[in-house]
Amino acid sequence: MTGWTALLLRDLRLARRVGAGAELGLVFFLILVSLLPFAIGADQRFISRIAPAFLWLAALLATLLGLDRLLQADEEEGVLDQFMLSGTPLELLVLAKALAHWLVTGLPLSLVAPLLGLMLAIEPQAMVPLALSLLVGTPALTLIGLIGAALTVSLKRGGLLLSVLVLPLTVPTLIFGATLVKEAALGRPYTTPLMLLGGMTLLMLVIAPVSAAAALRHARQ
Amino acid sequence: MIDPGAHAGFIFAAYAATAIILGGVILASWLSLRASRARLRRLEALFPEGGKRSS
Amino acid sequence: MALISTLGTVPAPALAIRGLAMARGYRTLFRDLDIDLAPGQVLQLTGPNGTGKSTLLRLIAGFLKPDAGTIRWSPVPDEVSPGEWLHYSGHHEGLRDGLTAQDNVATLASLLGGDPARTGAALGAVGAAPLAELPVEVLSAGQRRRVALARLLVAPRPVWLLDEPFTALDRDGQALVRQLIGAQAAAGGLVIAATHQPLDLPDLVHVVLGGPAS
Amino acid sequence: MNDARPTSWLQLANPAVFNRWADRLLWPLVIATLGLFAYGLYGTFFVSPADYQQGNTVRIMYIHVPAAWLALFVYAGMVVSALGTLVFRHPMADVAQKAAAPLGAAFTLVCLITGSIWGKPTWGTWWQWDARMTSVLVLLLVYLGIMALWRAVDDPLRAARAVAILTLVGAVNLPIIKFSVDWWYTLHQPASVFRLDGPTIHPSMLKPLLIMALGYLGLYLVLLLVRMKTELTLRRIDRLQRLAAGIPGERA
């Protein structure tokens, strides 16, 4: 077993044991969705109209959960020192951590979102595109968050700062994702936003590990 | 054609807002430069050889 | 220490430090530092607190870049990161709460290019076999130290950098550390330990950091 | 590969040289800036004609458009500083970047507020989720994030490197954000809005606009120098305080 897969499995195991992973993110997502009608009223048609945008916004916020501890816990315990001594490049190791984070937040969220879409009276033809958009788009959110996590790794209360740093950069992902679902709900083709969303994720797949690793290296200088 | 006089208030507001923001930044920058210099002078008077040793 | 004798897979390098200088913040910790270390030698670093013992170890580990001077390993070529040849054991054990001692050490073994299958034997060798299935957050500081020591055995590496290796350890534990250092040196490895405890080893190189201010 | 910058050069030489040049440049720049603003404002209010469509409100353009240019220009300068910090480890690069970020945020804020005030008589609303204003708003958020990161990290060198990485990440993202917002706007564009950007600009308007832009640039440079000098003084104070406290191990 290589160091990369060992790290991935370790983080998945940690997420299960510590309980900050899948369940809590999903519960947070569910709470956000159930709060919406209280804020805007029970007008089914209005809810249906803003549901795609709102589900994407909720997914964005749920993805931020736990990001502040993603690298910090390893830094505090001296595990990041060991990363530096590993034969596996730091860029790939932080990518493994991001993948683990996505597997316990983004992935379950994408699969559950259509069910919550039912509650928000989303158009039936938009169910599958909703799950698809989240599957393709939430990795970009996690990866952008990875950069923020690396930049705030040594800060005691970095959670709020992380959100401030990260959220502006998520604008394109949010636009493409929410537009995809909206177009699908109107019965229009959604290939363009899907391609743009995928492009965003691919781009972040390159930028995020490199910048996060650079930030971690510089943070210990 | 819009009556030129009708929007004088908006023009004034825009220029005033700009003056307040940029003026605020100018004032803040100038005051902090003065404050930092004053503090440095006080410290240098208190520890005359401290700064020399460092360079 | 049968585990260490497998060191032979990697040739132990020699260390040559020339003209090393480092400042932290505005303080110069040391300058013009020269150190030579041959395979099989043990270096003991001493000096008052805040004189840069930990910084020197982190410089050698490659975590920090020096202000001036060079750290060269031979025969390791310069392009290879020295990180892959050495173990670094700092103030933190490198163990994550929420995982068992076994899981922690096995993950580190994989990360450091060692053999996770040796985890059980390594934990046994440091006297932590009964702790293997316990989550590390229930362990005492000394027990955590022991578990962390197992890392040195699951991934054989020729160079050990140990920052205060005796902290929190009882008499047996301290004897164990001495034994491990001795075995590593006997196998041709290279050990640099920052500690004020006597190491009781022949052929010990001693470096004192931070003489009186001139 | 372990050869690094000599300590003395890092600590003193360059800041001293910088301070000498800054003192020499500062007052000529102040005078030039005042002159440009005087000439520019005269042109704005007494020479420039009212727009045939927007009337006198077009006079807001002379403070709005240069602010938008500066908002981008300052960010471009910060990208250069970020490269200076990360690649060349230039000791003045992070000082420049730290000094520039609040100035960029201020120009962005001016751009947003004047745009909003211009929008009220033009569009009939204070805020329009128009592609440009939305992008500029995101730019302001990025500036604020950079300033927040500067404040959060205590050690200046460490903060400088983190901010430099964030600046570069932002630089890659800003064009994408701009593109996505434009794309979003073309999908959601309300039919009733008419665009601010006239296809052509009359030379009688262009000249005061350019002069005002130069005035803004001068103001930026003056403030940048002042803030860099302040930052250097603050670092010197910090150093002096630590030395005066007699930290052990100091062998300078």
Q: Could you read off the pLDDT of B22-32 as tens digits, one per residue?
A: 999 999 999 99
The mean pLDDT value for C75-95 works out to: 80
CB contact under 8 A, D12 and B14: no
pLDDT at C10: 60
The mean pLDDT value for A153-179 works out to: 89
In a domain, D252, yes or no: no
C-interface mutation test, from A18, A69, A82, most C Cβ less than 10 A away? A82
Question: What is the ipTM score, two decimals?
Answer: 0.83
The distance of D152 to chain C (nearest Cα, Å) reads 17
Give the number of domains in chain A. 1
Q: Is A210 on the interface with D (CB under 8 A)?
A: no
**Tens digits of residue pLDDT in C148-164:** 999 999 988 889 999 99
The least confident of B47-51, C105-109, C137-141 is: B47-51
User: What residues in C contact D239, CB-CB < 8 Å?
Assistant: 26
Which chains does C contact via 3+ CB–CB distances below 8 A? A, D
Helix segments in A65-153, DSSP class H:
67-70, 72-76, 79-85, 90-104, 106-119, 127-151
Average predicted confidence (pLDDT) for chain D: 82
Which chains does B contact via 3+ CB–CB distances below 8 A? D
**Residue A51 sits in which domain range?**
3-219
Give the one of B2, B3, B40 whose C-beta lies nearest to D236's C-beta: B40
pLDDT at D209: 87
Tell me: pLDDT of D225 over 70: yes
Rounded to whole angstroms, the Cα distance separating A142 from A185 reads 26
Q: Is A111 on the interface with D (CB under 8 A)?
A: no
* DSSP-assigned states of every residue in B4-42: GGGGHHHHHHHHHHHHHHHHHHHHHHHHHHHHHHHHHHH
In a domain, C211, yes or no: no
- State the count of interchain CB pairs (< 8 A) between A and C: 87
Of A103 and C51, which is predicted with more confidence?
Answer: A103
Give the one of A168, A171, A219 whose C-beta lies nearest to D162's C-beta: A219
Tell me: pLDDT of D248 over 50: no
**Residue C133 sits in which domain range?**
4-205
C9 confidence band (pLDDT: 50, 70, 90): low
pLDDT at D127: 82
Q: How many residues does chain C have?
A: 214
User: Which CATH number do you get for residue C110?
Assistant: 3.40.50.300
Rounded to whole angstroms, the Cα distance separating C41 from C202 reads 9
D252 confidence band (pLDDT: 50, 70, 90): very low
- State the count of interchain CB pairs (< 8 A) between B and D: 109
**Cis status of the peptide bond prior to C75, with omega within 30 of 0:** yes
Tell me: pLDDT of B21 over 90: yes
Rounded to whole angstroms, the Cα distance separating D53 from A113 reads 49
pLDDT at A7: 92
**Residue D171 sits in which domain range?**
7-190+201-240
pLDDT at C154: 92
Please give the residue of chain C at the shortest CA–CA distance from A96.
Answer: C111
In a domain, C33, yes or no: yes
**Tens digits of residue pLDDT in D173-202:** 888 888 888 888 777 665 444 445 544 566
Q: How far is CA A24 from CA A70, A104, A105, A112, C117, in A?
A: 15, 10, 9, 13, 34
The mean pLDDT value for B13-34 works out to: 94
The mean pLDDT value for C66-82 works out to: 78
Q: Is D147 on the interface with A (CB under 8 A)?
A: no
pTM (predicted TM-score): 0.86
Tell me: pLDDT of A199 over 90: yes
The mean pLDDT value for D84-97 works out to: 87
Could you give the percent of chain A with pLDDT greater than 70?
97
Tell me: pLDDT of D242 over 80: no
In a domain, C175, yes or no: yes
In a domain, C144, yes or no: yes
In a domain, C64, yes or no: yes
Q: Is A191 on the interface with D (CB under 8 A)?
A: no
The mean pLDDT value for A27-52 works out to: 86
Q: Chains A vs B: touching, with 3+ CB pairs under 8 Å? A: no
pLDDT at C194: 93
Tell me: pLDDT of A156 over 60: yes
Nearest to B54 by CA among A72, C101, D7: D7
**Tens digits of residue pLDDT in D107-163:** 999 999 998 888 888 777 788 777 888 889 999 999 999 999 998 888 888 889 999
User: What residues in D contact A207, CB-CB < 8 Å?
Assistant: 169, 172
CB contact under 8 A, D170 and A219: no
User: Counting beta carbons within 10 angstroms of the beta carbon of residue D90, is it exposed (0 to 12), middle (13 to 18) or buried (19 or more)?
Assistant: middle
Give the number of domains in chain D. 1
Of A19 and A196, which is predicted with more confidence?
Answer: A196
Q: Is D8 on the interface with C (CB under 8 A)?
A: no
A111-119, long-range: CB within 8 Å, 24+ apart, which pairs? Answer: A112/A26, A112/A29, A113/A29, A113/A55, A113/A59, A116/A29, A116/A30, A116/A33, A116/A55, A117/A51, A117/A55, A119/A33, A119/A34
| DSSP, res A161 | H
In a domain, C210, yes or no: no
Tell me: pLDDT of D245 over 60: yes
CB contact under 8 A, C63 and A84: yes
Q: How far is CA D240 from CA B43, B52, C73, D63, in A?
A: 7, 9, 38, 42
In a domain, D248, yes or no: no
Place of tokens 């799950």: A131
Tell me: pLDDT of C97 over 50: yes
pLDDT at B5: 62
Contact C46, C58 (CB under 8 A): no
Q: Is C71 on the interface with D (CB under 8 A)?
A: yes
Place of tokens 């825009």: B14
